[in-house]
Amino acid sequence: MNDHVVQLTSEDNTIIRKQSLDERFTKSSVEFVKQVLIDQLHSNSKLQKLPFLDSFNHVYIQDSTKFKLPHSFKDIYPGYHQSGASIQLVLDIKHNKFSHLSIHPQTYNDVREANNIKWISPGSLVIRDLGYFSLDGFKAVEDSKSFFLSRLQPRSALFECKDESYIRFDMDKLLRRMKKYKLQYIEEYLYLSHEYKLPVRVCFSLVPKSVREQRLRDREKTNKGRGWKPSKEYDVWTWFNAYITNADSIRIPASIIPEIYRYRWQIELVFKTWKSNYHLEKMKSMKTERMECYLYSLILKTLLHRNVMNACSPVIKDKMNQNSDISFMKFVKLIIILDKGVHNMVRQMPHAVDDFINILDKQNKSMLMKDVKRKPANFVSLASGAQLVNN
């Protein structure tokens, strides 16, 4: 609190006592910052050209992150063994905007969130990881006239319909067939769960031998620690990566499903930035309203930094005459060091933007993303950049 008082005095010529400043962190303050964040989440929307996803109105990626809080928040934000919080985040990669954000206690799990579909527009694609694997969640997305894409939980009960009766799908037979005809991937129209019989399109692909061996080692380690016996069924599943969707093969061809699913790394990068560069887990004990203001402001700062990068990216890339994207992680590290320069730019001080871009230009090569095998282009980081520069 003393740091805030000193900063207000030195930079804004505002004199205020620590106690008076602390009293201004109220529920109304929290709602104000939250509303500013919501407005920012839905701003700067610009349609992205994703040819293989043209048939969907929106393409949502949903994920969550959990972090610890001081013990003093345990009554409002209960966690595992201590206080903690969970952030649910949805990124619309087709319109380059965050569509949903909510903060919960750490004990709030992803399966429970899977049934929350208020932010889903009809005709959209929802991509989630295994943490959200829920039959109720899949049904909710389908009922909203949208589509889901998810990894299939290993050893899930799959059924095929023959002569108006449902029989268990033979995974061992599938493995033999794929090996015999050297098929890298295959799709089957099956039913998930004996109770629900949810119709799904399942896309199976064989994993490299090294991946399967690692899975077997991990399972052996887990079984040894818990006293479990090896399962023959799991041995078969270790050969596969499997994805389920209710979208037909015209909307999403089986051959590109793994690549589409990898777009989830975009949202994971946001979480990594929060924890690594913004020190999300280093909250100190304070009153709840102040902590929540800090938390929402921290997320807001991430979005503002992202917009600054969007504005600078085209200029830097033009000067470098390269097509490599700028790493958001590296950019944020630099922008934090240059925090005062960014502050001046926001205040629209003369030549601040030009000076800031010149500084970035000297660091351009250090901010480039390295080519990572099989990862999609970072189109989110560059979206609406030209428009922001012109504005």
Can you give the CATH number for the domain in which 246 is found? 3.90.350.10
Query: Which one, of 56, 45, 41, lies nearest residue 88 by Cα?
Result: 41
Q: Is the pLDDT score of 381 beyond 70?
A: no
- What pLDDT was estimated at residue 329? 75
Q: What are the pLDDT digits (tens) for 161-175?
A: 988 899 999 999 999
* Same domain as 186, residue 137: yes
Asked, for residue 266, whether it belongs to a domain, the answer is yes
Q: What are the pLDDT digits (tens) for 253-267?
A: 988 898 899 888 888
Q: Is the pLDDT score of 200 beyond 90?
A: yes
Token output for 344:
């001046």
88: confidence class by pLDDT, cuts 50, 70, 90: very high
- What pLDDT was estimated at residue 240? 94
CB 144 within 8 A of CB 53: no
236: confidence class by pLDDT, cuts 50, 70, 90: very high
Asked, for residue 28, whether it belongs to a domain, the answer is no
* Same domain as 327, residue 183: no
* Same domain as 322, residue 239: no
- What pLDDT was estimated at residue 385? 30
* Same domain as 293, residue 260: no
- What pLDDT was estimated at residue 32? 93
- What pLDDT was estimated at residue 323? 62
- What pLDDT was estimated at residue 368? 56
Query: Which one, of 308, 344, 302, 349, lies nearest residue 326 by Cα?
Result: 308
How many domains, in total, are found in the chain?
2
* Same domain as 331, residue 226: no
Range of the domain at 156: 55-274
- What pLDDT was estimated at residue 104? 94
Q: In what order do the strands lie in the sheet with 158-162?
A: 97-105, 84-92, 59-68, 125-128, 147-151, 240-245, 198-206, 185-192, 158-162, 165-168
- What pLDDT was estimated at residue 266? 80
* Same domain as 183, residue 309: no
Q: Domain ends where: 274, 306, 326?
A: 274
Mean predicted lDDT score pLDDT of the chain: 81
Asked, for residue 249, whether it belongs to a domain, the answer is yes
More confident residue, 330 or 23: 23
CB 306 within 8 A of CB 381: yes
- What pLDDT was estimated at residue 39? 80
**pTM (whole model) above 0.85:** no
* Same domain as 184, residue 138: yes
Q: Furthest-apart CA pair in the chain: how many Å?
A: 81
* Same domain as 332, residue 220: no
* Same domain as 253, residue 320: no
Asked, for residue 23, whether it belongs to a domain, the answer is no
More confident residue, 195 or 40: 195
Mean pLDDT over residues 377-386, rounded?
Answer: 32
- What pLDDT was estimated at residue 341? 61
* Same domain as 304, residue 235: no
- What pLDDT was estimated at residue 364? 56
Q: What are the pLDDT digits (tens) for 99-122?
A: 888 899 999 999 999 999 999 999
- What pLDDT was estimated at residue 59? 94
| From 64-78, 126-140, 198-212, 343-357, the region with the lowest mean pLDDT | 343-357
More confident residue, 317 or 123: 123
**Given the structure tokens 């589509």, which residue do they identify?**
147
CB 299 within 8 A of CB 37: yes
Asked, for residue 281, whether it belongs to a domain, the answer is no
* Same domain as 348, residue 230: no
Asked, for residue 360, whether it belongs to a domain, the answer is yes
Q: How far is CA 331 from CA 309, 319, 367, in A?
A: 7, 17, 6
**Given the structure tokens 């928040």, which residue do they identify?**
73
Asked, for residue 147, whether it belongs to a domain, the answer is yes
Q: Domain ends where: 217, 240, 274?
A: 274
Q: What are the pLDDT digits (tens) for 286-328?
A: 889 988 998 888 888 877 777 777 777 776 667 666 666 677 7
**Given the structure tokens 């303050």, which residue do they identify?**
29
- What pLDDT was estimated at residue 105? 94
Q: In sequence order, which ranges of 160-284 are alpha helices (DSSP H)?
A: 171-180, 209-226, 232-237, 257-261, 265-277
Tell me the CB-side half-sphere exposure of residue 282, using CA atoms within 13 A: 7
* Same domain as 340, residue 309: yes
Q: Domain ends where: 253, 274, 295?
A: 274
357: confidence class by pLDDT, cuts 50, 70, 90: low
Asked, for residue 154, whether it belongs to a domain, the answer is yes
- What pLDDT was estimated at residue 375? 44
